[in-house]
């Protein structure tokens, strides 16, 4: 088996590469083909847990994403192996599900998780690599390319179609010599490439032509079509632009994709739009604090689809003003808890959250948000940073050198107050964190005890019942949780993927998508 490769490039970040790649994965999978996604390098704090098995020689093999794992390829009964949790970018995780494939580390061999403006944690084949994290960027690219190429070659060998996503723009000439994610990948896979642009921001034809012009002649030959994304209006008004562009480049515009606000796919970069609530009147506002290093924001996508819930991203106390006691504040995950906590205080959001909690309003902290809710952050290994917490939960977080990365299934015990409906609910989710949280010893001795409402320190609640902190990501993606908290269900991811495939099947020129893999 040797796969045909289709690659989605973009004129800019945010042009629509990720969702189009996802749509193509489902489109080809529905034809009965074995499909895998691939992105050589992703920079995102939105990550998902997949399972890998690692042998003594460092080889790896993917296992099913819910934690059932198998020995590496070629491993005999004598092979010593252990199972470990691994991380890939959320976009590739969803693309794998769209492809009806098991998400695994080869689909995103390099993941960069920004911790500061000039610093990222480097994840290679799903595992934190401290040496690469310290390495200068261009030197790092040379070191990781053999790993990236091997992962891609193996996927090509094992599948009928590999759908590849680029990053940013392939025309960044300052980065070309150290490229490991755009045209170097396209050439290596001999991929049929689509170049997509966001026409809603203007300058689409210039972006397409300029990007094409800055490619080498051999690279231009790989561009098989231009895609105009997020178009609003009458497509007839685009004429004669597409024809003139084809005259200049020899490349035709193969699709004009209308603006689609609620396709249902979780966003990869940045907070998603705040579209009107579904199902009429707003019964509850859920305010998610969007600090600079927010992570795993994609897990809140399902809240957009719950009738009567208005999802609101907030960055200032003014945006929290007017919340009723029935409304919720969520402190989400963070890639740099102490830094985002300092930002919270600078904005005055610490006081606003405390006021809401003080009058009985519900506050939920997830992962880094749980750590912020406690009394203190203690960091003996220099992982994140020391500092006082918000003091809304009588717990303390100790950062450990080893990172916890795993799928978990756990049940809530007796939960009280605002979160009582979660009592007894079995939840499936995933953990990605360095910190471990436990009750504050002195406060517990004085009678202020945090209640453990999940086993193994996964969730803690205050005595008043309105403040809850959990380590499990994916809480609102669990149907049992949505049913308990809202009495509602939302569209499945599988139906979202089918909708994306239907969409591109309708709006691409006839025969184009099949011709890409002919």
Catalytic residues: 367, 473
Angle, alpha carbons 447-453-459 (nearest 5°): 100
Q: Which residues contact 38 (CB under 8 A, 6 or more apart)?
A: 92, 106, 107, 108, 151, 152, 155, 162, 163, 164, 165, 185
3-state secondary structure 21-69: HHHHHHHHHCCCCCEEEECCEEECCCEEEEEEEEECCCCEEEECCCCCC
Q: Are 181 and 211 in contact (CB under 8 A)?
A: no
DSSP 3-state of 187? helix
Q: Please give the structure tokens belonging to residue 29.
A: 């999978």
Can you tell me the distance from the alpha carbon of 434 to that of 368, in angstroms, rounded to the nearest whole number?
Answer: 10
Rounded to 10 degrees, the C-alpha dihedral 352/353/358/359 comes to: 80
Distance (Å, whole) CA 445 – CA 468:
21
β-strand partners of 439: 395
Three-state DSSP class for residue 126 = coil
Integer Cα distance of 454 and 415 in angstroms: 9
Burial 249-284 (b: 16+ CB within 10 A, else e): bebebbbbbeebeeebbbbbeeebeeeebeeeeeeb
**Residue where the block lists tokens 């950062």:** 399
């Amino acid at each position: 088996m040797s796969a045909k490769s289709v690659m989605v490039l973009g004129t800019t970040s945010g042009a629509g590469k990720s969702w189009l790649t996802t749509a193509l994965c489902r489109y080809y999978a529905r034809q009965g083909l074995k499909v895998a996604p691939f992105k050589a390098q992703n920079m995102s704090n939105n990550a998902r847990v997949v399972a890998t098995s690692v042998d003594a020689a460092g080889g790896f093999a993917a296992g099913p994403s819910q934690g059932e794992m198998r020995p590496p390829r070629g491993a005999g009964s004598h092979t010593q192996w252990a199972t470990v949790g691994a991380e890939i970018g959320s976009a590739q995780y969803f693309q794998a599900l769209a492809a009806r494939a098991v998400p695994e580390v080869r689909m995103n061999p390099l993941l960069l998780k920004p911790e500061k403006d000039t610093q990222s944690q480097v994840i290679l084949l799903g595992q934190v690599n401290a040496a690469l994290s310290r390495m200068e960027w261009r030197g790092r690219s040379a070191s990781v390319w053999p790993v990236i190429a091997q992962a891609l070659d193996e996927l090509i060998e094992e599948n009928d179609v590999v759908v590849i996503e680029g990053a940013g723009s392939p025309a960044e000439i300052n980065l070309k010599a150290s490229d490991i994610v755009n045209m170097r990948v396209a050439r290596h896979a001999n991929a049929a490439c689509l170049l997509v642009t966001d026409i809603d921001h203007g300058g689409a034809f210039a972006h397409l032509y300029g990007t094409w012009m800055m490619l080498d002649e051999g690279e231009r030959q790989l561009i098989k079509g231009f895609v105009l994304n997020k178009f609003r209006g009458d497509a007839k008004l685009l004429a004669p632009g597409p024809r003139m562009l084809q005259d200049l480049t020899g490349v035709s515009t193969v699709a004009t994709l209308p603006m689609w606000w609620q396709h249902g796919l979780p966003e990869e970069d940045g907070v998603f739009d705040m579209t009107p609530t579904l199902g009429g009147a707003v019964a509850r506002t859920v305010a998610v604090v969007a600090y600079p290093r927010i992570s795993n924001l994609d897990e809140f996508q399902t809240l957009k689809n719950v009738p009567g819930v208005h999802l609101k991203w907030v960055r200032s106390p003014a945006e929290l003003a007017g919340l009723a006691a029935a409304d919720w504040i969520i402190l989400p995950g963070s890639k740099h808890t102490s830094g985002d906590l300092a930002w919270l205080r600078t904005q005055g959001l610490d006081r606003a959250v405390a006021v809401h909690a003080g009058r009985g309003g519900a506050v939920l902290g997830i992962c880094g948000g749980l750590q912020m809710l406690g009394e203190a952050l203690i960091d003996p290994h220099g992982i994140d940073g020391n500092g006082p917490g918000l003091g809304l939960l009588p717990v303390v977080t100790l950062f450990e050198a080893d990172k916890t990365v795993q799928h978990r299934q756990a049940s809530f015990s007796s939960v009280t107050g605002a979160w009582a409906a979660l009592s007894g609910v079995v939840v499936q989710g995933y953990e990605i964190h360095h910190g471990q949280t436990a009750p504050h010893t002195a406060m517990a001795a004085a009678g202020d005890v945090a209640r453990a409402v999940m086993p193994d320190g996964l969730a803690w609640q205050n005595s008043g019942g309105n403040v809850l902190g959990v380590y499990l990501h994916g809480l609102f993606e669990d149907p049992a949780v949505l049913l308990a908290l809202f009495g509602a269900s939302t569209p499945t991811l599988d139906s979202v993927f089918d909708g994306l495939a239907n969409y591109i099947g309708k709006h691409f020129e006839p025969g184009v998508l099949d011709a890409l893999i002919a």
